[in-house]
């Protein structure tokens, strides 16, 4: 087997040992899930898409992680890395089965990971909304623009040109980061 297949009850995935992995679709298939990223300072969420369950009751997810380079399908224990998994109820533009189909297609033809424009959050937003952005990069960028604006204002009020220029540089860096995050590469 060199491809995946999906019908109204099951997903069949290729495996490295030659025996296909068969997942049963459930009421949670196509839902966005997340776990907290480990060892981050700002509480970044690592999202994925729930696909279904195998014959042993293990949940399977598709997600994009830098360690795997391309989107990956993994069992719950591999996806979670020991962290609790939560459902994310953000609005989506597709039905759950369409999300499963889009997630499998994105996995099969997946792009290489890049922290700025092809990360886990870009992956999930692309699959569920057909939009390219990362909430974490937006947060950091927004904070940089705010900090830069405040720094520039202090520099302006105090007459300190160096501080004003530093603030404008920080704000510009935030704006560029946000713009680059939303840049859609094929």
What pLDDT does 125 receive?
95
Residue 81 CA to residue 68 CA, distance in Å, equals 14
**CA nearest to 40, candidates 135, 167, 162, 148:** 135
Q: Find out whether 82 and 66 touch, Cβ atoms under 8 Å.
A: no
Q: Where does 54-118 show beta strands of DSSP type E?
A: 59-63, 72-75, 86-88
Q: Are 150 and 167 in contact (CB under 8 A)?
A: yes
Distance (Å) of CA 124 to CA 100, 116, 119: 11, 14, 9
Residue 184 pLDDT: 62
Q: Could you count the other beta carbons within 10 Å of the beta carbon of residue 39?
A: 6
Q: Which residues of the chain fall below pLDDT 70?
A: 1-2, 40-41, 184-186
**Gap between the Cα atoms of 168 and 165, Å rounded:** 5
| pLDDT for the residue 53 | 98
DSSP state of 82: T
| pLDDT confidence of residue 186 | 47
Q: How far apart are CA 120 and CA 114, in angstroms?
A: 9
pLDDT at residue 111, as a whole number:
87
pTM confidence score: 0.86
Task: Report how far residue 129's alpha carbon sits from residue 132's, in angstroms, rounded to the nearest whole number.
Answer: 8
**CA 108/CA 152 separation, integer angstroms:** 47
């Amino acid at each position: 087997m060199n491809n995946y297949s999906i019908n109204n009850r099951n997903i069949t995935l290729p495996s490295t040992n030659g025996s296909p992995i068969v997942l049963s679709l459930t009421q949670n298939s196509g839902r966005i899930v997340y776990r907290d990223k480990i060892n981050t300072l700002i509480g970044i969420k690592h999202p994925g898409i729930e696909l279904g369950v195998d014959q042993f009751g293990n949940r399977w997810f598709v997600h994009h992680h830098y360690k795997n380079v391309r989107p990956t399908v993994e069992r719950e224990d591999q996806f979670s890395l020991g962290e609790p998994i939560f459902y994310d109820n953000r609005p989506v533009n597709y039905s759950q089965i369409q999300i499963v189909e889009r997630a499998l297609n994105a996995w099969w033809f997946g792009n290489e990971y890049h922290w700025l424009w092809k990360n886990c959050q870009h992956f999930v937003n692309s699959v569920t909304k057909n939009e390219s952005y990362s909430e974490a990069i937006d947060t950091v960028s927004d904070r940089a623009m705010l900090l830069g604006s405040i720094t520039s204002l202090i520099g302006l009020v105090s007459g300190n040109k160096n501080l004003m220029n530093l603030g404008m540089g920080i704000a510009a860096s935030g704006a560029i980061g946000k713009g680059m995050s939303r840049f859609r590469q094929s």
